[in-house]
Structure 1
């Protein structure tokens, strides 16, 4: 990976909040972008799910 960076943002939504993850990556080999994108998307979804679970446990 030549570059991989992201940020979390918490946005108000009524009486709740929404967490948004923006993630940008640049593979060393540009021809691998199509292959890497689904893997990184899956990792991002797992990250957000893990965060959701931790927040819900902390709320209990």
Structure 2
């Protein structure tokens, strides 16, 4: 049986130890999300361009 790839992958992370900002990509849609956490609280939102459209990573960009 083939190993199933994870749907979401973390593409970048910035952490101070107490706070974390990371970007996650949905491999099915290519949409990028920002995750921010402080202590025991956190939230996620899609990353948007200047026109308000979601930032999408193509499969070709992911492999580079």
For this structure pair, what is the TM-score category when the shorter chain's length is used for normalisation? 0.3 to 0.5
State the structure with bigger RCO (CA 8 A, min sep 6), 1 or 2: 1
TM-score after normalising by structure 1: 0.33
Question: Structure 1 or 2: larger strand share?
Answer: 2
* TM-score under structure 2 length normalisation: 0.31
Larger Rg: 1
